[in-house]
């Protein structure tokens, strides 16, 4: 990913509603496009953009999109490998991924499955201008309730997993899948990075299973972000944990991406400020963000605030006066994840700050609950 040390890095999730001409014209805005159907058009406009191919990690490839490389359930059940289809513990319902009802779930505990996935999509990626692989819903938890497969012409049931959310066998299989995918991508004729979307909800700093998972990746997306898909904003411990992971991922030389979605409507200026401020608390050399209405992937959501001259970090985030602050060469960032308004004494005279939304800046500054401020200044590190 292009360096984001002194900018707000933006990434574009999917591009079905974006024309080829728009992709080329607007490519300089972004450091990465996640799950693109137009890799060459983005790269024509920005030679450094990362144009990623999309696959849900525990399913067959997509049908229709991304090269139409997948197959439907009937094909799998009647084809050469019906014993690769993963079912729930009722032994009849495929363990479909939520939101992907057509993508046939496959048995990730079978090494032949990930080998099939990579050998199917790898050549297509190389021939069509992709620069990396993005895997969706990569999780060490068995969120789909996958349980087992039918073998011997659908006469013998073989249980692979417990079907429970926390499933040690699933965790082992997911780690192997990620390691194989990274190995395969790095071994391509032109080596490619491997990035994945894997939530951080409830994951404590330093969790060894997640540190192992991250070791198999070149980039990590936290799609739940600081808004948990628009369902609720982070509390204090959740906020600190997500910032810890953002810092950890980038300290390993890997990219960190965060998505903040909002229910019912596009984010207001106040909501955009919250998303940008929380992102900036964990931004280092490889970090990108997107904030948009839930369910609006595939269209551009590039906000004017992204062009703010926030500058480069002076130091890490720190807690003070009941809020979190971070100094940048061109800005002071403040985030309040408490449930009360906090009066914050600013490090410099309030007259030296300009809010990116034009809000009035006073000293002390009242910062409402669940609010974020990005205050521009010329001497942020002093």
Instruction: Tell me the whole-structure pTM to 2 decimals.
Output: 0.96
CA distances 129 to 21, 69, 122, 125, 270, Å, are 17, 16, 11, 6, 38
Q: Between these two residues, 350 and 330, which has the higher pLDDT value?
A: 330
Quick check: 229 pLDDT over 80?
A: yes
The C-alpha torsion from 203 through 206 and 212 to 217, rounded to 10°, is 70
Q: Are 228 and 201 in contact (CB under 8 A)?
A: yes
321 is a domain residue: no
Structural domain total, the chain: 1
Asked whether the beta carbons of 57 and 177 are under 8 A apart, the reply is: yes
As a whole-number percent, the residues of the chain with pLDDT over 90 amount to 96
- At 350 the pLDDT is 64
Mean pLDDT across 28-34? 98
What confidence score (pLDDT) does residue 235 get?
97
Task: Evaluate whether residue 376 is within a structural domain.
Answer: no
Q: Does residue 291 surpass a pLDDT of 90?
A: yes
Per-residue pLDDT band at 360 (split at 50, 70, 90): confident
Reference 22, options 1, 2, 38; nearest CA is 38
Average pLDDT over the chain reads 96
Predicted confidence (pLDDT) at residue 5 exceeds the cutoff of 70: yes
**Residue 259 placed within a domain:** yes
Residue 315 in domain: no
Give the residue-averaged pLDDT of 174-180: 98
382 pLDDT higher than 90: no
Contact 341, 284 (CB under 8 A): no
CA 23 to chain centre: 20
Q: List, for residues 204-214, the tens digit of each pLDDT value.
A: 999 999 999 99
What band does 96 get if pLDDT is binned at 50, 70 and 90? very high
Query: Is the model's pLDDT at 351 over the cut of 80?
Result: no
Q: Per-residue confidence at 320, pLDDT binned at 50, 70, 90?
A: very high
Name the more confident of 349 and 69.
69
* In the predicted structure, residue 352 carries a pLDDT above the cut 90: no
> Is 193 a domain residue?
yes
Please tell me the distance from the alpha carbon of residue 354 to that of residue 225, in angstroms, as a whole number. Answer: 27
CA 358 to chain centre: 30
Q: Over the stretch 58-85, which tens digit does the pLDDT of each residue have?
A: 999 999 999 999 999 999 999 999 999 9
Domain of residue 130 covers 11-307
CATH number of the domain encompassing residue 277: 3.20.20.70
Decide if 340 is inside a domain.
no
Residue 39 resides in a domain: yes
123 within domain boundaries? yes
């Amino acid at each position: 990913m292009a360096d984001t040390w002194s900018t707000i890095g933006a990434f574009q999730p999917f591009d079905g509603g974006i024309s080829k001409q728009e992709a080329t014209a607007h490519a300089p805005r972004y450091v990465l496009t996640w799950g693109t159907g137009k890799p060459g058009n983005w790269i024509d406009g920005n030679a450094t953009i990362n144009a990623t191919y999309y696959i849900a990690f525990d399913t067959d490839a997509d049908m229709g999109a991304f090269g139409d490389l997948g197959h439907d359930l009937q094909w799998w059940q009647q084809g050469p490998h019906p014993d690769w289809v993963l079912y729930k513990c009722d032994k009849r319902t495929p363990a479909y991924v939520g939101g992907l009802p057509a993508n046939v779930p496959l048995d990730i505990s079978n090494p032949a499955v990930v080998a099939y996935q990579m050998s199917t999509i790898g050549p297509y990626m190389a021939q069509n201008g992709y620069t990396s692989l993005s895997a969706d819903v990569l999780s060490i938890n068995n969120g789909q309730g996958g349980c087992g497969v039918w073998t011997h012409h659908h006469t013998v049931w073989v249980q692979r997993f417990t079907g429970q959310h926390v499933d040690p066998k699933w965790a082992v299989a997911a780690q192997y899948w990620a390691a194989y995918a990274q190995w395969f991508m790095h071994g391509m004729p032109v080596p490619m990075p491997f990035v994945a979307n894997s939530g951080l909800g409830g994951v404590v700093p330093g969790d060894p299973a997640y540190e192992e998972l991250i070791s198999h990746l070149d980039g990590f997306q936290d799609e739940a972000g600081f808004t948990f898909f628009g369902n609720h904003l982070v509390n204090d411990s959740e906020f600190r944990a997500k910032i810890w992971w953002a810092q950890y991922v980038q300290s390993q030389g890997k990219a960190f991406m965060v998505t903040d979605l909002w229910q019912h409507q596009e984010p207001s200026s106040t909501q955009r400020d919250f998303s940008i401020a929380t992102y900036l608390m964990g931004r280092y050399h490889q970090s990108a963000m997107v904030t948009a209405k839930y369910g609006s992937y595939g269209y551009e959501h590039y906000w004017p605030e992204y062009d703010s001259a926030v500058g480069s970090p002076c130091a890490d985030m720190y807690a003070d006066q009941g809020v979190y602050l971070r100094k940048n060469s061109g800005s002071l960032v403040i985030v309040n994840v408490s449930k009360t308004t906090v009066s914050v004494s600013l490090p410099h005279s309030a007259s030296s700050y300009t809010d990116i939304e034009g809000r009035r800046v006073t000293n002390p500054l009242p910062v409402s609950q669940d609010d974020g401020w990005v205050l521009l200044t010329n001497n942020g590190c002093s």
